[in-house]
Amino acid sequence: MFCRILLTLLVLFALCGGELTVKWYFPFDGVYADRMLFGSSPAVADLGVNSVGGEPDNCLEIVVGSDEVDSPYEPYYGAWRCIDATGSLEWYLLTLTDEARSSPAIDDFWGNDGLGDSIPDIVGGTTSGWSVEAFSRDGHFLWRFGEVTGSGAYLWHSSPAVADIDPFVPGKEIVIGNSNADCAAVFCLEGDISDGTDDGYTGYNWATHSCWDTYIGADGTDWDVLWFFNTVGPIVSTPALANVDADGVIEVIVGTGWIDVMPSGASPGPGGEILCLNGVTGDIEWSIITGGSQPQVPGSPAVADVDGDGDNEIFIGAADGYLYCIDGDENHSGAIDPGEISTVLLGGVIYSSPAVGDVDGDGNYEVVLGDGEGYLDCIRYFPRGDSVHILWRRRISSQPIFSSPALCAPGDSIPWAMFRQNPRRTGFYSPTGDSEFIFIGTREGYLFCVDGAGTVVDSLKLGESIVTSPAIADIDRDCFLEVLIVSATMESSNGPDTLWCLGTDIPSGLAECDTCGEITVSAECPVPCFGRSSCRGQVVEFSIEFDTWDPPDTSHTFFTAVIFHPDGSADTLGFDGDSSFVSFEPVGPGAVRCVVSLPESLLSDGDSVVVTLDSLRSQNGCITVP
């Protein structure tokens, strides 16, 4: 029996081929009591933690909350989770106050006396818990506003925005809205309280804010409120932080009012205002009253300079079905005059928050959002001409869309890092000149990928409902973008929810990528005996070694063996990595050895064998060309 080998190994590439592909998923496993409008959307960053798994340290981590009222880690508490690029749990942190429904923001706001230490920090809100929670990259609390534990009011369904908005206080501030109608307000909190000084207004009490006594702890020591602004309606809208009138002061833009769609037990209520607050003082600069029988602005604003005049414009939808396009208080009159605002009727209650980007690659910025009639809309606003044009509408759902779009262009490794794109929560994606992809979920549980012309590229059913929004990044450094999103198994209570990581074929533009590693192939035919290359009773072995942190997916690794007989005939045998003919074993740090063994029963004297590796796929999605 003669032994020869031919293994075909072709160039490696990442999955998708124009389709969304599941790379991994992480199911949550707690108890679900109720639902509010939105779920916790994931945020991605290089946190510099790598306590589990073997992925490279420069891969990204994902931080996300959930709708679990009882997490699997301890009853009566929700949880924040940090999950690595392969879907393994790095750490969890109990919220201490029920569900972590707020979408976390990741930014450097702690350390070096508030000036930052180049180490990312995390902040999010809880509801039906009642604390805003700031914690470190390795899952330890920095501070909580307030220090209360256990179940409580439904307070912080809004998601925090982070920026240095007060030049008189070192470092960055946290701005978030309160979702309870009895405690409705916008709060500005100091990011780093390590100086132990109350840097904000003092003398707060129940007379100035009706729920003040519920915020247990000492102002300036346990947390530091710089200012708050009481609102008429409760807030689930996430504030955007930007200078909108070219006065050098960062403003806070937010909507008020929300009405229950899914049973929550919360205290919602109408509002319908679009507010602009001074970021330093918290004083109101202007407001707009929207319409409808139950006025509400549950979505979040997008802020961007779409016409290049140096002033930012504001975009936000409302319950009256209109998208509001606001040029800002250009004449500093303290109000938005008719010439400083345009509206376009899209229909239904608008829950989705706009994204701004050059989606069609023509060098101009467009506004994209889901509407109350199930359409994904693309709009262009011309502030100087006070006009709005609908470029296209694509129906992707039969229900109102709650998810907000995320944008990405080829060549950007972290295009959409968190809900609203960035810690300031502006919903603005700045690159121009390349057609972009739009990712958005629906309440039927589908994730859609739509191109800049409004054509559906792909969709994937992930659960019974999606009321969260995507993050997009090359989390595993394979040179292609991944999409992260949370789906719900059931929209009204129960659960569980699931975090999905989906592969795409959109290149991320990284200069160096971690793929499946170097593959080497060797024949391990038995040592010759009696002058022959092998003897009866011996197996024929071939091995494949590849140096990778990403182990092989045995059920998706395929081989073909062709056994040539001396009479010119041949037998062909196909098998996968789960076959009894194949074994995988570690041979060193990050290295795996695959051995193909053909038994004696298949072989005769004088046979020769060719084994072809048809396709090798790793657990994280790298494959050889089939």
* pLDDT attached to residue 14: 34
Unique residue bearing structure tokens 């330890």: 140
* pLDDT attached to residue 584: 80
Lowest mean pLDDT among 185-199, 416-430, 527-541: 527-541
For the beta sheet containing 558-564, the strands, ordered from the edge strand earlier in sequence to the opposite edge, are 570-576, 558-564, 608-615
* pLDDT attached to residue 403: 98
* pLDDT attached to residue 491: 52
Q: What percent of the chain has pLDDT over 90?
A: 56
Is pLDDT of 604 > 60? Answer: yes
Is pLDDT of 452 > 50? Answer: yes
pLDDT band at 83 (very low <50, low <70, confident <90, very high): very high
* pLDDT attached to residue 496: 80
Higher per-residue confidence, 348 vs 11: 348
- Tell me the CA distances in angstroms from 116 to 108, 111, 191, 268, 529, one per residue in order: 6, 5, 10, 36, 70
* pLDDT attached to residue 521: 56
CATH number, domain 21-507: 2.130.10.10
Tens-place pLDDT, residues 300-325: 999 999 999 888 999 999 999 999 99
* pLDDT attached to residue 251: 97
pTM: 0.84
Highest mean pLDDT among 145-149, 261-265, 608-612: 145-149
* pLDDT attached to residue 28: 92
Higher per-residue confidence, 586 vs 457: 457
**CA 223 remoteness from chain centre:** 28
| Domain ranges across the chain | 21-507, 519-625
Count of positions (residues) in the chain = 626
* pLDDT attached to residue 31: 76
* pLDDT attached to residue 588: 63
Is pLDDT of 76 > 70? Answer: yes
Cβ contacts of 601 within 8 Å, gap of 6 or more: none
CA–CA dist 106, 606 (Å, integer): 65
SS3 30: coil
Q: In angstroms, how far is the first alpha carbon of the chain from the final one?
A: 30
Is pLDDT of 358 > 90? Answer: yes
What is the rounded average pLDDT of the residues 440-458?
Answer: 96
- Tell me the CA distances in angstroms from 63 to 80, 108, 163, 385, one per residue in order: 7, 15, 19, 42
